[in-house]
Amino acid sequence: MPKTGSKRYRKALELVDGSKAYPLKTAVEVLTKFPKAKFVENVDVAFRLGVDPRQSDQMVRGTVPLPHGSGKNVRVLVFAKPGPSADAAIAAGAESVGFDDMIAKCVGGWTDFDVAIATPEAMIEVRKLGKVLGPRGLMPNPKTGTVTDDTGRAVKEVKAGRVEFKIDKAGNVHVPVGKVNFSPEQIADNARAVIIAIIKAKPSAAKGTFIQSCTISTTMSPGVRLDIREFLAAA
């Protein structure tokens, strides 16, 4: 690893052997020894996958519940017409619930939310927001459980720490697994759930080594390469 960046980053690099892959427990222990930033950093797991994201049959996408949540206050928008689905979303704690009014706000460029959920009925109009929500990764999708009539359950799952993962154009996947103020055990449990979910999401069309590399890092730290062999049997 090149010794570039801030003094704090360089000090963190000294704690990592870039030539080896660490067991998850050990990797998390290394993370906890890194110099701390002046804010509570996120902890993320990143994957480089051996698939061609240009091929529809090699898409990697899904959701996974984090055992200890993400540590983030998730702001939820629910597109639903007045009725039971809207009422359930409100009761479950969604910050914004509506239909015509919420669609109009989004058309105007409003995206002050982290997750959007829609009923199947609402999606007839919501799908027209593709140019607004799509580039920001906010479009509801049945594959991620965000298009459903059971809005109350969906809101609760998102609030509790269900995170979405999706491969990017370069064949990479980045998934948040908590905050640096989580305990090492909580970080490891969350990371373990994500790694197993990614392994299970391997497309049948994928050939060769599926997970080419996997690293765990904080917002401002270098990555620590993980040895995922311990998870292959569990998946």
What are the sequence ranges of the domains in the chain?
A: 15-69+162-232, 76-159
pLDDT one-digit tens code per residue, 145-180: 999 999 999 999 999 888 989 999 999 999 999 999
Q: Indicate the pLDDT class of residue 1, thresholds 50, 70 and 90.
A: very low
pLDDT one-digit tens code per residue, 72-127: 889 999 999 999 999 999 999 999 999 999 999 999 999 999 999 999 999 999 99
Q: Please indicate whether residue 129 or residue 18 has the higher confidence score (pLDDT).
A: 129
- Give Cα separations from 10 to 6, 44, 95, 148 (angstroms): 6, 19, 41, 47
pTM of the model: 0.79
Q: 76-159 falls under which CATH superfamily?
A: Ribosomal protein L1/L10, domain II (3.40.50.790)
Strands, E assignment, 5-53: 42-49
Q: Indicate the pLDDT class of residue 4, thresholds 50, 70 and 90.
A: low
Paired strand residues for 164: 63
Q: What local confidence, expressed as pLDDT, does residue 3 receive?
A: 45
Given a contact cutoff of 8 angstroms between Cβ atoms, the answer to whether 97 and 80 are in contact is yes
Given a contact cutoff of 8 angstroms between Cβ atoms, the answer to whether 230 and 24 are in contact is yes
What mean pLDDT value characterizes the chain? 92
Phi-psi domain of 60 (left: phi exceeds 0; alpha: psi -120 through 50; beta: other): beta
Q: The domain 15-69+162-232: what is its CATH number?
A: 3.30.190.20
129: buried, middle or exposed (CB in 10 Å: 19+, 13-18, 0-12)? buried
